[in-house]
Amino acid sequence: MDLSYCLERLSHQATAVDRLVHGLPAEQAAWRPDPDSWSVLEVICHLLDEEREDFRAHLDHLLFHAGEPWPPFDPTAWPAERGYNRRELGSSLGNWLQARQESIDWLRGLAEPDWRSSAAVPWGHLAAGDVLASWVAHDLLHTRQLVELLYAYTAGHARPYAVRYAGPW
């Protein structure tokens, strides 16, 4: 596991997300292309809760408490339960960026972590290295989701004009 690479990606990806959504109007931040999709605001709130309650917490669990039961969590229920789409984008984004920096600082402070440290989890077996790799990949999944939301919003608000000249989507 190349911790330096992961730290660099976590930092750069946070900057990319910030640049994509910083300053969006509240109406656009809360917009969903359909009832089953998330809004930009919901994605950011999800990233914040995942930062605090999933990746860092579960990585800590695997590195230092692997013999204890896996802490339960249900991120798919959080958007509705926690009212993500009623929050404010600027403060949610700022809170996520702060939590991300705290995570990076925490990761930098780890002394020779054993990325092979693992535990049984409800869906199988998981190593600390799996969690760190997934953390980096998780950002990319949601960055792609944010780009798709911004594209759909732009296309919808360009009507009666089309965005096809931009290239194939």
The overall longest dimension of the chain from CA atoms, in Å, is 59
Q: State the amino acid at position 21 in one-letter form.
A: V
Measuring CA to CA, which residue among 35, 167, 4, 149 is closest to residue 89?
149
Quote the pLDDT of residue 27: 96
CA distance 93 to 131: 23
Question: Helix 3-21 vs helix 89-108: angle between axes, to the nearest 10 degrees?
Answer: 170
136: number of Cβ within 10 Å: 16
Q: What is the pLDDT of residues 28-37, one digit of tens each?
A: 999 999 999 9
Instruction: Label residue 24 left, alpha or beta by phi (over 0 means left) and psi (-120 to 50 means alpha).
Output: beta
Contact indicator for 131, 124 with CB cutoff of 8 Å: no
Name the pLDDT band for 69 (thresholds 50, 70, 90).
confident
Question: Does domain 3-166 sit in CATH 1.10.1740.10?
Answer: no
Domain boundaries, the chain: 3-166
Quote the pLDDT of residue 103: 98
Residue 125 sits at φ, ψ, to 5 deg, of -125, 140
The whole-chain average pLDDT of the chain stands at 94
Quote the pLDDT of residue 66: 85
**β pairing state of 124-127 and 118-121:** antiparallel
Residue 127 sits at φ, ψ, to 5 deg, of -105, 155
